[in-house]
């Protein structure tokens, strides 16, 4: 870390869950005791992504859109659907990257050294200087003698950071009320075992919606992982957060770019384990600030060996076996054939959607066709029928006169007798 740089740390969603039963406030105090000047929550990045997503949804040309703020989601959709799903994808940077860019914009006059504590594979960005896993951060607390449970549960004597949400949910997805009110769409959160097939079904229904499938694909920023609640990934995070804000919590004067093209998202290189989680080791430049100061004060002790981060492992791409007689299939490196989702079926479904959309007419045009059908017997084609309320009844339609009631016959003779 540079000498004049101020150490900041970004606490990812998985780091907050890993610190339980300690609260996020206690985790922030422990990071300050470790030597970091500021412990920023990753919810700031969620807010930036959610706000930008709503802005893009207002003028989005397709009825359904898929938010892609996690590289795991982008990689899965591009690997399964290729260019077929590309028009429906809204790609953004990951929440930790958005948080780091916001910090550098807010402290533009200072040199910062930003460390991200989390397992998000999309944190490989120039705005983040070092990355550590949540378990490594907890081990650093133990080695430094910092107890998470003994930390204060509130911010006394210091200005607290606003950890509330206004636009977002965990992972950068806009809140349901924001999507319905501002974008006139429904929020669909997929949670099944095969999220890609559920996504294809949602696209075929052609319902105006914003689709989120980050949680079933293992997004750490959405609360998925070993510490998340199965089936309800964001539920554990929401219970640890303060109530929602009534207005935006970030500075609107700071312009932070969080949108990303699909080509830039596909160019991200990250190291993955067998389960797809990020493998990051504590490097020399990612050491906690207090540990660096202790090493500097003890010159007689031999410097420890530098632990370098492992080189990025290239992603394994399956070998695609194309055959005209069978559906597209892929094979692993061992030669085992694994079935893939049928791209032909999805393309046919999207073609039917486009044809159905071209044939669909608004309600006014449909009403006009119905009126034209009612006037087929008119002498001139296209002449409209006179409204019933203004029509003059013909001779056949005039009411027949009702004869007056018969008069009672009276006799004058009896009266004369009286």
Q: What are the tens digits of pLDDT across the range 10-24?
A: 999 999 999 989 999
Give 3-state DSSP helix, strand, coil % of the chain, rounded to 5. Answer: 35, 10, 50
- Res 241: pLDDT: 87
User: According to the model, what pLDDT value does residue 347 have?
Assistant: 61
The pLDDT assigned to 279 comes to 42
Q: In which element (H, E) is residue 117 found?
A: strand 112-117
Nearest-5° angle of CA 88, CA 250, CA 130? 75
> Is residue 9 within 8 Å of residue 128, measured between CB atoms?
no
Contact 279, 135 (CB under 8 A): no
Cα(341)–Cα(344) distance, integer angstroms: 9
Which pLDDT score is estimated for 195?
Answer: 79
- Which pTM does this prediction carry? 0.66
Distance between CA atoms of residues 146 and 289, nearest Å:
14
pLDDT under 70: residue ranges of the chain: 1-2, 81-82, 157-159, 192-193, 226-236, 264-369, 371-402, 407-418
Residue 265 has what pLDDT? 65
């Amino acid at each position: 870390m540079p000498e004049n740089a101020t150490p900041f740390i970004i606490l990812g969603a998985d780091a907050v869950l890993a610190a339980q039963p300690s609260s996020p406030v206690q985790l922030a105090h422990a990071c300050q005791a470790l030597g970091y000047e500021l412990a920023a929550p990753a919810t700031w990045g969620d807010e930036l992504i959610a706000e930008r997503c709503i802005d893009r949804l207002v003028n989005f040309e397709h009825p359904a859109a898929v938010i892609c703020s996690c590289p795991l989601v982008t990689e899965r959709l591009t690997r399964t659907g290729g260019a077929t799903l590309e028009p429906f994808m809204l790609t953004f940077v990951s929440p930790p990257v958005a948080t780091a860019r916001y910090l550098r914009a807010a402290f533009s006059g200072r040199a910062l050294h930003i460390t991200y504590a989390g397992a998000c594979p999309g944190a490989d960005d120039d705005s983040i200087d070092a990355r550590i896993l949540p378990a490594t951060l907890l081990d650093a607390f133990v080695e430094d003698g910092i107890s998470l449970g003994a930390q204060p549960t509130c911010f006394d004597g210091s200005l607290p950071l606003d950890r509330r949400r206004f636009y977002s949910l965990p992972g950068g997805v806009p809140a349901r009320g924001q999507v319905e009110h501002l974008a006139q769409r429904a929020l669909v959160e997929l949670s099944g075992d095969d999220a890609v097939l559920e996504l294809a079904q949602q696209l075929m229904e052609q319902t105006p919606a914003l689709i989120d499938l980050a949680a079933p694909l293992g997004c750490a920023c959405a609360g998925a992982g070993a510490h998340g609640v199965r089936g309800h990934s964001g539920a554990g995070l929401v219970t640890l957060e303060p109530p929602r804000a009534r207005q935006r919590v970030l500075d609107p004067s700071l312009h932070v770019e969080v949108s990303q093209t699909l080509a830039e998202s596909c160019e991200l290189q990250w190291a993955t384990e067998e389960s797809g989680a990020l493998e990051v080791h504590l490097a020399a430049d990612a050491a906690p600030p207090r540990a660096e100061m202790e090493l500097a004060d003890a010159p007689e002790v031999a410097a420890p060996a530098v632990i370098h981060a492992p080189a990025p492992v290239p992603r394994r791409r399956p070998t695609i076996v194309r055959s005209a007689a069978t559906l597209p299939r892929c094979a692993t490196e061992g030669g085992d054939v694994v079935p893939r989702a049928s791209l032909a079926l999805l393309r046919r479904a999207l073609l039917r959607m486009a044809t159905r959309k071209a044939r669909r007419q608004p309600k006014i045009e449909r009403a006009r066709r119905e009126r034209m059908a009612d006037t087929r017997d008119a002498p001139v084609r296209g002449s409209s029928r006179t409204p019933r309320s203004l029509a003059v009844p013909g001779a056949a339609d005039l009411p027949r006169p009702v004869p007056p009631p018969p008069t009672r016959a009276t006799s004058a003779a009896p009266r004369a007798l009286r």
